[in-house]
Amino acid sequence: MVVQSSWYNFSDQDSQGYEVLSNKYPRGVPMVLDFAFRDGSCPYAGGPVRPGYRCVNGNSSCVNATSAEGYFCKCWEHYDGNPYIPNGCQADINECELRKQNPHLQNDYPCDGVCKNRLGGYDCPCKPGMKGDGIKGTCTEKFPLAAKVVVGIAAMIVVLVLMVMVHQLLKFRRFYEQNGGPVLNGVKNIRIYTRKQIKQMTNNYRRVVGEGHFGKVYLGTLKDKKQVAIKKSIKVDTHMKKEFTDEVIIQSTMRHKNIVMLIGCCLELDVPMLVYEFVARGNLYDVLFKCRDKILVGTRLRIAVGSAEGLTYMHSAGESTVRHGDVKSANILLDEKFTPKVSDFGTSKLLVRGKTEMTEHVIGDMSYIDPVYMEQGIVTQKSDVYGFGVVLIELITRRPATYDAERSYVANFVEACLAKRARNFIDNDVTSEADIDLLEMVSRVAVDCLKPNPEERQDMKQVEHRLLEIVAQSEDHSQERDYKGDFSPAPDDVALFKGLGE
């Protein structure tokens, strides 16, 4: 028996004959034959092929014999067939299937990854998440455990951030809808700003230009460099919040030189923010009582007339009338030229023309509130007339309005006017007899605004007309002085000259 020597080991049983070996190895034994053609050797590369050369298959190669001179033909690696006939080595070996069907061949076709057959061989890329060479058995994980932990934590952070962002967006959307965004988005003259835009306009809420119990007012700048005032309330009553949409619509229709213009609003907050035109000098209250600069009587008259014109427009504009509800000097703003602008419509309400409104909640500054409104809860436009009468007292006396149970601030002034002692209350800075006469006339207008019975009060149109008549008398008096050539200094000027001389 001829057998491969490296495979066979002799035993005593083998000496008993062929039948013992047949029973011992029923499937036969591997055998190696040294087969070769002895009529020459393989031609050298690029050399001529001699007649009778037998390796004619395109997918085969010539191999020189090792035991003696000669050669034999062999199909290329990964090809199978007969190398001695034309096109005999054509069948591609599926190494992956061989590995699967014959585990003992896995060492012949190693693959520590994903086996993929191809023509003329096979590939073995590493499994997903690993790197290296699967055939050489060098596949290792791309990310070590520490890297996986870091990536996992980072992924969790990203997910949490995304969840927070989505939550914020949903919250902003909810605020937008609760604050009437779908309705206000189509309102003329009003622009809807996002939180991001408001933050950019205010430079992250850097400069506060006003602050009080209502909240804060920030200075903002639009893209065209125009300055605006952005009002942010501390809180808003649930009942008033429901009416916010109506309030903005009211303000959007108010376009008058003596009314602060509402430019837009931000609805992506629990408490909406309002964007107004910026009025440089601030409010009348601060100008009167926090700054002791002299205010000419002519300037005071212009402030009174302009404020009256703004309130008259508010009361008469549109099909429905509007009352302000919180008329006071702090809600009258002044620009660089002392032009007044009525502001803060936070308590304004639509009223059907000619009707009154009952309310259980008294809203506004107690020093300016109509007693009827406070005691009976009856709100009319005459309530604004009363508040304006208190503002006139402040312009005349330059003393801030105060509140007590007897309403002595108003009562004392009215009593003095009825007793023709109004000049005792006039601001001491006013010394010209002509100016004092003008302020006495304004005092009579204020008294009519402050009558206890709302029905006896004049409306804002009538108040405006009377103030205009006083302004006209002031101008006539000024022209008369110029015509007569009265160049003698007025008492105010004498005091000024003395001050300069000292």
Number of H-type helices and E-type strands within the chain: 15, 20
Question: Kindly report the CA angle at 466 between 465 and 472, in degrees rounded to 5?
Answer: 90
**Cβ-contact 237, 264 below 8 angstroms:** no
| CA-to-CA separations, 178 to 45, 182, 241, 348, 432, in angstroms, rounded | 88, 9, 9, 20, 57
**Cβ-contact 110, 137 below 8 angstroms:** yes
Question: Kindly report the CA angle at 198 between 192 and 202, in degrees rounded to 5?
Answer: 145
Grouping H, G, I as helix, E, B as strand and the rest as coil, residue 241 is helix
Grouping H, G, I as helix, E, B as strand and the rest as coil, residue 446 is helix
The DSSP secondary structure of 100-135, one letter per residue, reads HH-GGGTTTS--SS--EEETTEEE-PPPTTEES-TT
Taking the C-alpha atoms of residue 204 and residue 141, their distance in angstroms, rounded to an integer, is 48
Which amino acid, one-letter code, is at 355? K
CB atoms within 10 A of CB 269: 17
The response to whether 241 counts as a known ligand-binding position is: no
Q: Of all helices (H) and strands (E), which one includes residue 153?
A: helix 145-178
Given 133, 270, 326, 365, the catalytic residue: 326
Which pair of structure tokens corresponds to residue 27? 């499937």
Q: What are phi and psi of 103, to 5 degrees?
A: -55, -25
Contacts of 295 (CB under 8 A, 6+ apart): 287, 288, 398, 429
Burial class (CB in 10 A: 0-12, 13-18, 19+), 403: middle
Grouping H, G, I as helix, E, B as strand and the rest as coil, residue 268 is coil
Taking the C-alpha atoms of residue 45 and residue 123, their distance in angstroms, rounded to an integer, is 29
Contacts of 43 (CB under 8 A, 6+ apart): 49, 50, 53, 62
For the chain, the straight-line distance linking the first and the last C-alpha, in angstroms and rounded, comes to: 145
Taking the C-alpha atoms of residue 380 and residue 459, their distance in angstroms, rounded to an integer, is 11
Known catalytic membership, residue 459 = no
Binding-site residues for ATP sit at: 232
Residues catalogued as catalytic: 326
Binding-site residues sit at: 232
